[in-house]
Amino acid sequence: MRAIRSIGLSALCVVAFSLPAAAQFANDTVKIGVLTDEVGPYADSAGPGSILAAQMAVADFGGTVKGHKVEIVHGDTANKPDVAANLARRWFDTEGVSAVVDLPVTPVAFAVQDVAVQKKKTVMITAAATTDITSKRCNIVSTHWADDNHALAGGTAKAIMANGGGKSWYFITVDIAFGTALQKDATGVIEAGGGKVLGSVRYPVGNADFSSLLLQAQSSKAEDVGLASVGADLVNAIKQAHEFGLGKPPGPALVGFLIYINDIHALGLEATQRLNVMSSFYWDENDAARKFAQRFFEKRKAMPSRDQAQIYTAVLHYLKAIDAAGTDDAAAVGRKMREMPVDYFGKSVTLRSDGRLMSDLTLYRVKAPAESKRPWDYYEPVRTVPSAEAYLPANPACNP
């Protein structure tokens, strides 16, 4: 009898450990927090549109996962790391949030990534673009969906040169680490391809007058002027460049390494025509993207930015991973997210072991006003850069 009882207990243990993980949820509701810039300089490319994209993903998934209701909550980072980190910590500790998504600007993303690692919660970074998110700070709970600075700068330079241009460059660079990284990544590709950087100039964040910088770029006789900047500074530089005739034949072409379609819309095609833009998403690139974009437009009255499209993709993939893993445990879901193919608007892509989304990028040229046939018809595809060429190789030491 003793032996039989022992066998029975062993069998029970096997059954217990083989039971599906459906009950392994931290809370009755799966909450996903959108941490974004709701009213500041990134509110158009992120903000309310990011919240909407996440809500659309939940609705399209069906609103529940493994019998648990899925809820979207949101908060404003004010673009301050301490604000974002404190809000994420409160969400994780007391409000039952399982995952955070979006996170414009690098310091904010780093701060929340650190909290997520400490609390063993999922974080999906779709806005901040630094390669350090995966190359130096990779972990199993974190994934990076944004086109990163190496892909945007180096990939853009590669595509322009492969298309017969980019023989000489001049850079106008914001004097922060991110601007320096953009210029460095582009320069490496330019020089490796036989091109030359004729000069560069730096400016402080919030610079109002670009006239002297643009005149220096113009006098350099460079074929392309790289704007290694982001946000309001980049928009102001493009606006003033148009006034100086840059971007118009026969002058140099302008290259915006990190610019959203919302910025193009705000500036208008007259000011942005011929601008070179790199992106892994454009609302009019295929039928799947168009269907999503039209639904988004009906609610938002604007086409989705790349960030907003990646939020939709990331949240939907996260829910699929929870469904497959049978739990919202961040490590288990992180592994499942990397195992499963990602549906990126009809394009099958993958999450690398370090959490890097591996998707091809396309160089687009902004259309002239006469070339645009309907509202938001802004981009003409020029050349595609495969993901293996666009992104840095995974750090061998980075295998979470």
Quick one: pLDDT at residue 95?
97
pLDDT for position 54 = 98
Instruction: Quote the mean pLDDT of the chain.
Output: 92
Q: Of 101, 180, 140, nearest to 354 (Cα)?
A: 140
d(CA 80, CA 299): 29
Q: What is the pLDDT of residues 299-310, one digit of tens each?
A: 999 999 999 999
pLDDT confidence of residue 24: 87
Q: pLDDT grade, residue 400 (50/70/90)?
A: low
Q: What is the pLDDT of residues 214-267, one digit of tens each?
A: 999 999 999 999 999 988 899 999 999 999 988 888 889 999 999 999 999 999
Tokens of 202: 């730096």
Q: What is the pLDDT of residue 1?
A: 38
Query: Is the bond preceding residue 250 a cis peptide, omega within 30 degrees?
Result: yes
* All domains in the chain, ordered by first residue: 22-147+285-358 (3.40.50.2300), 150-279+360-390 (3.40.50.2300)
User: Which one has a higher pLDDT value, 130 or 10?
Assistant: 130
CA distances from residue 118 to 129, 144, 209, 304 in whole angstroms, order as listed: 22, 18, 43, 32
pLDDT at residue 321 is higher than 70: yes
Give the predicted TM-score (pTM) of the model: 0.92
Q: Is the model's pLDDT at 51 over the cut of 80?
A: yes
In the predicted structure, residue 64 carries a pLDDT above the cut 80? yes
| Rounded percentage of the chain residues whose pLDDT exceeds 90 | 87
